Amino acid sequence: MIPPGKTTLFRMQTAAYLEAQRIEISQDGAVKLGWRTEPLPDQVRLRDDFAGIVGLIDAIMSDKMVMDRLQERMAVPAPNAAEHAQASGDVTVDADEVAAE
């Protein structure tokens, strides 16, 4: 898969909002049509997660200090996944290293 392109907080917020709305509309529609008696719990949780992302981005965008710090951090190249896993204490296994042993 190709790496994601550049985006903005506003675009991410809009995408999260639209996805939360899509989930809510589709689950409400399924209940209205009688396909289900209630929305699927995992879809409700997913909708809530997207709504939380919208709120998180609102909080970030409303605080100038946080925005400045975020812009500073985003200017620095992010560590690759292996470095992040090591820093967080996650264990990663390289299939080539295992085969060589």
Is the whole model's pTM more than 0.85, yes or no? no
CA distance 48 to 25: 13
Instruction: Tell which residue, 52, 56, 46, 54, has the closest CA to residue 23.
Output: 46
Look at residue 98 in the predicted model and tell me its pLDDT: 43
Q: Determine, yes or no, domain membership for 1.
A: no
Q: Determine, yes or no, domain membership for 100.
A: no
Q: Determine, yes or no, domain membership for 72.
A: yes
Domains identified in the chain, total number: 1
Is a pLDDT exceeding 70 seen at residue 96?
Answer: no
Q: Determine, yes or no, domain membership for 63.
A: yes
Q: Determine, yes or no, domain membership for 98.
A: no
pLDDT one-digit tens code per residue, 25-63: 999 999 999 999 999 999 999 999 999 999 999 999 999
Look at residue 50 in the predicted model and tell me its pLDDT: 97
Q: Determine, yes or no, domain membership for 57.
A: yes
Lowest mean pLDDT among 6-10, 13-17, 51-55, 63-67: 6-10
